[in-house]
Structure 1
């Protein structure tokens, strides 16, 4: 008679171990569960995940059980102690009525030209934002002339709707102080198709008119931090079309909101990349590059750019920046970066 292997784990015990591990993960990473639920489309699954996540979060946070989650967030560049969803400068700053529907914001004042860059003293350019910058940053660096010195700072899974997860207002101020960029190129919004919480606790549903207006106001706040009243230039990149119809609808709203915000901020410019990252405005995996050769431009997720897609975008991004040709070093060429496009 064959004896069972002593190392064999009974099925019941294995199931118990798995359930225990999943339970511990749920408790220790309750904030991540809430974050994931907020990004889900409306429905039963989202309600269940958020119900469980908020309940566990209320228990784990006072007991300090969310410490591992905060440590992991810090390790992956999401900062240390985050503000609440309603105390960040991103949420509290600015005049909320300025972005009310039907109200037209005044145009930005005239700007002084940037200094003339050279290969010996190039302009400091920062590419920053969410995971969209992972391929865009290196592509812009490779496409830039010697008169531009480009660096990239990527913060994965971030955006303007969840300052409790990552506070972009605080990070933007730190970037300005630490890196002293003269031009900032921003690509973000891919994670922002979720509700936003106002200081009074009101939650704006993703896709609503109020949500779009609040996003425009937050974009205005962050753009003003990066531009510093026109002392620096900002290029805000449009989101490319998404394969998902639901996400694409959000992206179109976010593009409209950020374009409107840039129009009222001195030194800011909105750069619409959709003509080059789509086929007639519609999503396509394959797109022509500068030579006319068709390239796989989009990743499997239908949101991000491949390296070839980033190269397609980079050529048009660099074309908007000063310091690439003698003509761009004139006051007129540099002032052009300050006008919304």
Structure 2
């Protein structure tokens, strides 16, 4: 009798041999999938990154599982740097059709976008967690353990002032998993670290240099997060005056010209404005920094994920949901109207602009005094 193909194996592909290339029915690398899990988190990049902390809890609970993640196309390269995801789908009509023909044991939806809610309802699964959609087309939840996350969206007093749980704690609660301080992290390939090393050497930033990165961007949604150009220049000048550090002005494609203008205005050979980079190289650049100064942004979350000491300032968004896992400092605006989650500020001086550069410098100076940061990363 002909032996059957073991199509429940984690390595089975179907249209071609698996990575081991052995005879399927007798392969010693057979790894049967016990549970299939779908995670839905589409955007934004920083939120996708910090949601990856859930992978450690899922792997502990279901070690012999296959974990599939669907996200927007711009986040796909990011998830390739994260351990624990077996397959990544880029959101499209094709991927939605594909998922509609499959069955999962568990679906975890941590996204409130309309398409995410609809997909979570549509996909076949034994049990679902997180955000859902009811028959009225309104945001709902699949499980009672997601009630707290739901309330955060409708209760400003709770979200802005009373909540003490981090985002990672909240999604663990939604997933009904015990939380033991799991953090999110990513692994930058050596080739990208090497690329950044060579790029910086062209600008006289070498392995033994202490590097302070200043992220000048904060995404498109909240312009109220941005620090003023004048304050950025003043902060850079303080760092240059009081230390021998090199300063990197970093950001995305939209900040590239702005950063170059700032660098010309500061007019110091110790200030470098690298070009905008693809996600793997950007993560390598942030990892090269000994200290990263940033608003609440994707760069901030990358800093947390790669172990860079982070100094972040918060105004319109909530600081309590962000955790640096003991390696960073939050500077929180003191304006009575903050946080507000408004995309435009109605006051002449926003809460972020009211934070003096000297206050940020104090946090940078404190970070430079940390024992693990007294030397450049290459010396550790």
Give me the TM-score of the superposition, normalised by structure 2. 0.32
Higher normalized strand content (fraction of residues): 2
Higher normalized helix content (fraction of residues): 1
Greater RCO (CA < 8 Å, at least 6 residues apart) = 1
Give me the TM-score of the superposition, normalised by structure 1. 0.35
